[in-house]
Every structure is written in C-alpha cells, then in structure tokens.
Amino acid sequence: MTERGFPARLVERVEDRLERLVERAGMTYRGYETTPDTTLGATPYADMDTAGISGARDDGDLRIFLTEMPRLRGRSVIVAESDTEQRAIVVSTTALGPRPVRALIDCIAGWLDDAQSPRRRWAPQTAGTTTYLVAGGAGRARLVLGLVRSNRPWRLIPTLTGMTAAAAAAASFGIFFSSIWAMSQALPWWRLAIITTLSVVLASLWLIVNNRLWERAGLDRWKRRLYNTVTACTVVFSALTLYAGLFVAILAAALIVIDRGFLAEQTGTDAGFAEYVHLAWLASSLGMFAGAVGSSADSYDDVLRATYGHRERLRRRASSPDAADQE
C-alpha cells in the first residue's frame, strides 16, 4: 500500500523487481494499492505509529506501507520499521537517500530474507515487537534532500500563476526600456550578483512569511528545525527555478526583439552576446522583486501545492485551522 505522490511513483518504477523479490521469498505478490489520502494515521505534529495503520487486515498477509512522511524516533531518522505482531513493514521513502530505487529494493529484500535481520547499511533497533532501521550519520542530510525532492519545488512556475505572471510582466520591461539596457551595461557583474541574491531571498522570505510556512510551535526544537530547513530549501529552490525560467525567456526574447545595432547605439557599447546576458540578468532580478509581491494573489492552497508533497500538505492543512481563510 502506498500514498499518492512520490511513494506511488517510486513503486511504479520498482514493481517488477518487488514482485520477483516476493516470489523468491516463497510468497505470492498481490499487487499494490494507492490510497486516496494516507496509509498511516498521524496527528499534525506527531510521528506515525504502526499501531495507527489504516486498513490493516487479519488475513496473515505481510503488508508493506510506503509513506513520504519523515519517520523519527527521538533524533534518529527511521528508514523503515517492521511490526511482527501486525505483520506490517513501514518504509519512509524520503529517508532512502539520493538513490531511492536501489535503497527501497535493498530495504525490502532485507526484511523478506529475515524480518529480524535488516540490511547492513542501516542499524537495527528493537522495541517490543517492532524493529527499526535507523539511518547512519548522514541520515539527516539524506532525509532533508529526500523531503525536498518529494516536494518537487520545480512545480512553482505552473502552480503559482500570480507570482509567475507578475514576475514575467515586470521582467518584460527589460526588453522595451532603454534605461534598463543602459543600467545593465553599467553595473559590474558583482553588483548584478548581489541584486540577484537579494531578489531570490526576498521572494523566498515573502512566500514563507506571507503564507506562514515557518514552524513556530507544536514541535520539539529538533523536529521544528528539520521542517524549517526543508521549507527553506524547498522555497529557495522554487525561487531559483522561477529565476532560471525568467532568465531564459527574457534572454531569448531580447535576442529576437532587440536589434544588435540598436542596442549598441542606446548603450554606447559594442553589443554582443554578453550584453544581452547582462540585460536578461538585470531584468530577471527586477521580475523576481515583482513576483514576490505578486505571490500574494495566489491562495494558500496553491502555495502548498507548489512547495510541498501530498503528505506534507495534509499535515500543514490539519495544523492550520485558519488555512481556509487564506484560500
């Protein structure tokens, strides 16, 4: 059983190999099911518990549940856990690292060989009828990267239409106003770099603060730091994606619309490709400033869809009782 989003896409990629693994272990593969909401019950701020598995059946089958929510035990990152009493295995796909396909196969193969002997790449811990696979020293970094990946921050451009439209409209002024052409040629590269950094930081801060994405209460300090780190990385990556899209679009438009001789006449320089790059560089930065303000036109739900995976959106909606007021 798998949740929608990244876990479901991962299962689709490895289903054939999973079926072979199950058959080699002497079991019958019964396929997988994608749940409409979640595979595991969880409160907005609590970690999941195998005792809260929904849809558990008393038929003797071994059930494997895939979720994209982080599994934590204190400060330890849980990759997977097995409950022998319920004959259930829970795998956190976001903790599998940069190669989730291979890691998922290794994880499940280890459980199928011997439910009490997990694979050597993770350290086992046992508590009652439950055995945990605990990630090593780099487990926290892999978890952050996995959470950012499952959030798919590159979806910002098609999802946040208000922010994208405002950024594109402001950046397009760079194509038609000669004052911006002249300024882009007068500014050294390091000033342009500072302006770019400020525009990305401002857009990221505006998205986080205006939509109250920053965790302030309800979690212990370590978990709050984890979620805020993932939020910051996701939003900054989203802003950089928008900036890159703006830059490519403005550069292409400038090369098509602005005649090289006319650009040289207006700026007093020998207009070459580098001058077009500087123009697109500055115009894209100006567009990001406008896009930050334009994001206010996007609903809270749009922001969640653009910056978070399915499971994290559910958690944030549940933890924000006034979320509907922002839509």
- pLDDT tens track of the chain, all 327 residues? 777 777 888 888 888 888 888 888 778 888 887 776 654 554 433 444 444 454 445 556 778 888 888 887 777 888 888 877 777 888 888 888 777 888 888 888 777 765 444 455 677 777 777 778 888 777 888 888 888 888 777 877 777 778 888 899 999 988 888 889 899 999 999 999 999 999 999 989 988 888 777 877 666 778 788 888 888 998 899 899 999 999 999 999 999 999 988 988 888 888 889 999 999 999 999 999 988 888 776 676 767 766 666 666 666 666 665 444 444
Asked if 74 and 135 count as a contact pair (C-beta separation under 8 A), the reply is no
How far is Cα 221 from Cα 237, in angstroms, rounded to an integer?
A: 24
Buried b or exposed e, range 100-116, using 16+ CB within 10 angstroms = beebbbbbbbbbbeeee
Provide CB contacts within 8 A for 126, sequence distance 6+.
Answer: 116, 132
Region class of 212: left (phi > 0), else alpha (psi between -120 and 50), else beta = left
